[in-house]
A = this chain, B = another copy of it.
Amino acid sequence: MARGLLMVFTGNGKGKTTAALGMAMRAAGHGLKVCFIQFIKGGWRYGELDAVKRFEGLIDFHVMGQGFTWKSDNIEEDARLAREGWDFARAAIASGSYHTVVLDEFTYLLHYNMLPLEPCLDILTGRPAGQHVVVTGRHAPERLLELADLVTEMRAVKHPLADGIKAQPGIEF
């Protein structure tokens, strides 16, 4: 029984985005198509951006909400960008072209109420049969966890940024 799974990587520890990247890599290694959508705060992460170029035709990589500031002064602009990103993501899901769709750091859009929760969850649970969706980010809403088939909490037992060591290329981005 192979069925599409809704997977969530959440928690405050390191490894959520990289685990999603690793899954994309595995799927692509099997010749399966992946749509990887990042809902990031701030700039591009060149590490993954350059790496996925090696999987042309297998991993479609998109960055949404470039310049997202989240809890910014301009809440309307944030909400507009969130809707735009989500429209793109739901079209990717609905296309049925992908073995796996990754919504990286998507939880923030739900957590900060930039998108209405239940309609979003309806899209995720109503995805094409056999399609996997991976959602990453802190503060995953409880309802999302309830509906997910797989949930891993990446729990920060020790984190070097807490020790005053700065973020490094190839590690943090």
Chain A residues in the interface with B (C-beta under 8 A): 1-3, 5, 7, 9, 11, 13-23, 25-32, 45-52, 54-55, 99-100, 132, 145, 148-160, 163-166, 168-171, 173
A27 lies within 8 A of B170 (CB): yes
A43–B168 alpha-carbon span in the complex (Å): 34
A156 lies within 8 A of B152 (CB): yes
Q: How would you classify the secondary structure of chain A's contact residues: helix, strand, loop or mixed?
A: mixed
A48–B15 alpha-carbon span in the complex (Å): 17
B55 lies within 8 A of A30 (CB): no
Given A30-B46, A155-B155, verify A149-B169 contact (CB < 8 Å): no
Q: Which of B22, B48, B49, B99 contacts A19 (CB 8 A)?
A: B22
> How far in angstroms is the closest Cβ of chain B from A10?
8
B1 lies within 8 A of A165 (CB): yes
